[in-house]
Amino acid sequence: MAYLYLALAIVAEVVATSSLKASQEFTRLWPSVTVVVGYVLAFYLLTLALRTLPVGIAYAFWAGLGIVLVTLIGVLVYGERLDAPAALGLAMIIGGVVVIQAFSRVSAH
């Protein structure tokens, strides 16, 4: 259940972060509401995940997957472009998350 909470927290954080650009510096109501509600929900769900997941592991997943997903939204929704070093860096982040999940002995307690 902890990984479900963490996944939902990451989705909420990605929605909130992606809505920051649409809020136009908090001058548009609904994107601004989405930002605030998304972050509140994300942090609440993260606290639920931290009941059993170690904080370092949870934060590694949160930050790593959040970066990759927000970048993908930037490319797909906002037409932002990635160069080769950025793509390589994102691949390394994904690799780090995979290594933690597949090989780390640190697990939910």
* CA gap 108, 5 in Å, rounded: 13
pLDDT digits (tens, 9 = 90+) for 56-108: 999 999 999 999 999 999 999 999 999 999 999 999 999 999 998 888 887 55
With bands split at pLDDT 50, 70 and 90, how would you rate the model's confidence at 109?
Answer: very low
Q: Are 54 and 106 spatial neighbours (Cβ–Cβ below 8 Å)?
A: yes
Structure tokens at 102: 């597949």
Structure tokens at 8: 């939902």
